[in-house]
Amino acid sequence: MKNNIQNNKKIKFNIQGLTRLNEDACYKKINNKTILKSGNYSVKSYKNNDCAVPNVENISLKHPSFFYRDGYGWVSNNGCVVDNDSKLRNSRNLTNLNSIHQLKERLHKTTPFLINKDKSIPKETNLLHSESTLLKRPCNTLSGITIDRFIPQIPVLKENIQNPRNLIQEINNKNWIRGGQPSRQYIKTKEYLNKCIN
């Protein structure tokens, strides 16, 4: 009889306790940190407030597809290099007043120079910035003269140039189907007839 008697010691009976993985204290702590990171990312300012942003410029120069902008115009953040900008714009020591020199930029900014042989800068400069030989009509020897280039059409061309048979498919061929001939249907019909005949 003693073996059949249950042990009636008082034990703590936990029911509906917080035992799931997402109720663990360590998990809650890590989860809250993760949520805070995404929130901080959306409100964080990644703008570099240094004057002329040297670190950002170095990163951008190492990677040709990264473009950066430090402020608006040429005066950097909060106008910190406005004096340098004014010196370059207002001084005459860097400007050739006799002629305008325009430097052409690359067609594709991220593509390197792809010519196989060595680059000849004088020849390329003469080719890119060659002298214009265009003579405008007011200064030309033909100013005030009109050259009539009308040539009458030959009869065959005159009769057929606006002939709707040459332009509209439905007039040229009554069996014409818009979108092309149903080639798949032709093949299926041919296969069907071959099977039926044989």
Domain ranges of the chain: 19-43
Q: What percent of the chain has pLDDT over 70?
A: 75
Q: What pLDDT, on the 0 to 100 scale, is given for residue 123? A: 76
CB-hemisphere CA count at 13 Å for 1?
A: 0
Per-residue pLDDT at 30 exceeds 60: yes
Q: Average per-residue pLDDT in the chain?
A: 77
Per-residue pLDDT at 20 exceeds 70: yes
Would you mind telling me the total number of residues written for the chain in this entry? 198
Q: What pLDDT, on the 0 to 100 scale, is given for residue 48? A: 77
Q: Is 14 left (phi over 0), alpha (psi -120 to 50) or beta?
A: beta
Q: Which range among 70-79, 109-118, 165-174 has the greatest average pLDDT? A: 165-174
The Cα–Cα gap between 178 and 170 comes to: 9
- Residue-wise burial string across 65-97, b where 16 or more C-beta atoms lie within 10 A, e elsewhere: eeeeebbeeebbbeeebeeeeeeeeeeeeeeee
Q: What pLDDT, on the 0 to 100 scale, is given for residue 6? A: 62
Q: 3-class SS at 64?
A: coil
What mean pLDDT is predicted for residues 172-176? 82
The Cα–Cα gap between 187 and 70 comes to: 66
DSSP string, 157-192: HHHHTT-HHHH-HHHH-TT--TT---HHHHHHHHHH
Per-residue pLDDT at 130 exceeds 80: no
* Under 8 Å between Cβ of 104 and 130: no
